[in-house]
């Protein structure tokens, strides 16, 4: 039987395409933020998944909606909430890190505008290895 070079070529291309589509990267999903009032603060939450074999670090966050955007961790002790700014957040290999109302969050300080339910804005997350990932955040009631 004669081999069909075009068929072989297209099979080869399909293989390449497939491996590209399976290329894994850090993903951020389910991003939401609480409503807020201009001049006040609010926070955003999301899920970071790292399917890669190596760890990464979230180094910083940036947005246009507030004067200051920081990465915080909040905890509750004896009924009192406290939070600390984080220098970075470790994202271990093959794991998920959840930013949630008690725990890690991105804090927006001195909002430049009101944020009401249904509003959307962009949040830039800067990772050590993965570079910048732009996340669409939707404002929701908690």
In the complex, residue closest to Cu ion by CB: 72
- Taking the complex as a whole, the smallest distance from the CB of residue 6 to Cu ion amounts, in Å, to 59
First-to-last CA distance in the chain? 66
Nearest-5° Cα angle at 74, 69 to 79 = 140
Which residue in 64, 73, 71 sits closest to 115, CA to CA? 64
User: Which residues of this protein are in contact with Cu ion, per CB under 5 A?
Assistant: 72, 83, 107
Backbone angles phi, psi at 50, to 5 degrees: -120, 100
By the 8 A CB rule, do 26 and 56 touch? yes
By the 8 A CB rule, do 2 and 107 touch? no
CB-wise, 1 or 81, nearer to Cu ion? 81
CB-wise, 107 or 111, nearer to Cu ion? 107
- Taking the complex as a whole, the smallest distance from the CB of residue 108 to Cu ion amounts, in Å, to 9
Size (the chain), residues? 142
CB-wise, 7 or 81, nearer to Cu ion? 81
- Taking the complex as a whole, the smallest distance from the CB of residue 70 to Cu ion amounts, in Å, to 7
- Taking the complex as a whole, the smallest distance from the CB of residue 73 to Cu ion amounts, in Å, to 8
CB-wise, 45 or 121, nearer to Cu ion? 45
């Amino acid at each position: 039987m004669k081999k069909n070079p075009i068929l072989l070529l297209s099979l080869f291309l399909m293989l390449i395409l497939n491996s590209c589509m399976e290329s894994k990267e850090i993903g951020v999903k389910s991003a939401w933020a609480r409503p807020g009032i201009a001049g006040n603060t609010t926070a955003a939450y999301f899920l970071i998944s790292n399917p890669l074999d190596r760890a990464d670090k979230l180094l910083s966050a940036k947005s246009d909606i507030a004067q200051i955007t920081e990465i915080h961790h909040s905890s509750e002790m004896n009924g009192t909430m406290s939070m600390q700014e984080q220098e970075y957040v470790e994202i271990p290999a093959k794991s998920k890190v959840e930013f949630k109302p008690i725990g890690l969050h991105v804090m927006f300080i001195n909002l430049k505008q009101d944020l009401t339910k249904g509003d959307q804005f962009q949040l830039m997350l800067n990772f050590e290895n993965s570079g910048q990932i732009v996340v669409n955040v939707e404002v929701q009631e908690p």
